[in-house]
């Protein structure tokens, strides 16, 4: 997270980690990708010559795009707010 500039550290007695930016500017997608890497690979076979004809590839690319769009749309501030909301 530090390498991706999501958190920053300070040394010393009161040292530790804090957010490098405001929670409104940090997305869930950014955090997940920083920790785990890309959401969905474009193709399971890295040297596949049939990727343009492969129906499965189209599905995974489309799914990956939607997952990324959704997770990058969720901000850290949203997660905190939802935690405080009551579930009905």
Q: Could you read off the pLDDT of 53-85 as tens digits, one per residue?
A: 777 777 877 888 899 999 999 999 998 876 666
Residue 38 domain-assigned (yes or no): yes
Residue 8 domain-assigned (yes or no): no
* Tokens 């991706």, located at residue: 4
Asked whether the predicted pLDDT for residue 37 surpasses 90, the reply is no
- Tally DSSP H helices, then E strands, for the chain: 3, 2
Domain that holds residue 71: 25-84
Residue 13 domain-assigned (yes or no): no
Of all helices (H) and strands (E), which one includes residue 8?
A: strand 7-10
Asked whether the predicted pLDDT for residue 36 surpasses 70, the reply is yes
The Cα-based distances of 66 to 34, 36, 53 in angstroms read 18, 17, 21
Residue 17 domain-assigned (yes or no): no
Residue 11 domain-assigned (yes or no): no
- Please tell me the total count of domains within the chain: 1
Residue 62 domain-assigned (yes or no): yes
Residue 16 domain-assigned (yes or no): no
pTM value > 0.85? no
pLDDT in tens, 7-25: 999 999 989 999 999 999 9
């Amino acid at each position: 997270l530090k390498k991706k500039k999501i958190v920053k550290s300070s040394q010393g007695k009161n040292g530790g980690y804090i957010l490098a930016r405001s929670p409104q500017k940090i997305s869930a997608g950014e955090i997940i990708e920083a920790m785990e890497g890309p959401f969905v690979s474009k193709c399971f076979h890295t040297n596949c010559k049939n990727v343009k004809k492969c129906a499965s590839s189209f599905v995974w690319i489309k799914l990956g795009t939607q997952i990324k769009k959704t997770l990058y749309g969720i901000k850290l501030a949203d997660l905190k707010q939802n935690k405080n909301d009551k579930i009905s």
